[in-house]
């Protein structure tokens, strides 16, 4: 399936009414035919079964499947904001004493998470010039758990060599987390180049607003 087709049809879910455009499910809860059915779903919901809008609904599931298809990713998970995606991706894999290497050219809120939030919980962060591979090589070490950079930096537009940095990171067993918000999967196949986790603010270029 080509990229343009994935953009239009990836993850498409249609209701019994056969709508052409994606339906917006505004419900917060879902109906269960019996108490036993409710219990079973709360214990282990199936792929097309939903419990509560906080955890997902058909609209969000379709969005996640489309993003995963565009990225060539195993799966996708939607959050309430781009910064929730960034902070969630990093905090899920880090704990006190871990080390992160990050490009210094980053969106201001990303810098805040790295400089103020992660360090508050005992994570050490080293910043490097994202375009200088020698700095990446010098900064990573056996205790480095993750590297983080924007594929195209906001707002400087510096471009990081994804494959090269991913190779450096993987040599020490680090997870490569990239923010692909400026390039989008249309222009940057980050996972194919070695990224392990790709994050977005979906209210920017990926939905056409910039």
What are 86-131's pLDDT values in tens digits?
999 999 999 999 999 999 999 999 999 999 999 999 999 999 999 9
What is the pLDDT confidence band of residue 17, given thresholds at 50, 70 and 90? confident
Euclidean distance between CA atoms 159 and 178, whole angstroms: 12
Give span(s): CATH 3.40.640.10, the chain.
Answer: 82-207
Tens of pLDDT, residues 51-83:
888 888 999 999 999 999 999 999 999 999 999
In SS3 terms, 39-85 reads as: HHHHHCCCCCCCCECCCCCHHHHHHHHHHHHHHCCCCCCCCCCHHHH
At 5 the pLDDT is 77
Q: Cβ–Cβ contacts within 10 Å for residue 206, how many?
A: 20
pTM: 0.88
Fold of 82-207: 3.40.640
């Amino acid at each position: 399936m080509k990229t343009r087709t994935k953009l239009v049809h990836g993850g498409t879910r249609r209701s019994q009414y056969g709508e052409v455009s994606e339906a917006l499910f505004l419900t917060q809860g879902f109906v269960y035919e019996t108490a036993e059915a409710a219990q079973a779903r709360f214990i282990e919901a199936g792929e097309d079964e939903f419990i509560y809008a906080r955890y997902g609904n058909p609209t969000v599931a379709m969005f996640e499947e489309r993003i995963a298809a565009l990225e060539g990713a195993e799966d996708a998970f939607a959050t309430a904001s781009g910064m929730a995606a960034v902070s969630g991706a990093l905090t899920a894999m880090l704990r006190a004493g871990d080390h992160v290497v990050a490009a210094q050219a980053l969106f201001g809120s990303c810098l805040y998470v790295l400089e103020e939030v992660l360090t508050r919980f005992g994570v050490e962060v080293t910043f490097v010039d994202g375009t200088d591979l020698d700095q990446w090589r010098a900064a990573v070490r056996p205790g480095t758990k993750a590297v983080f950079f924007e594929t195209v930096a906001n707002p400087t537009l510096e471009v990081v060599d994804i494959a090269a940095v991913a190779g450096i990171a993987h040599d020490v067993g680090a997870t490569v987390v990239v923010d692909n918000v400026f390039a989008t999967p249309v222009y940057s196949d980050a996972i194919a180049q070695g990224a392990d986790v790709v994050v977005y603010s979906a209210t920017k270029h990926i939905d056409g607003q910039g």
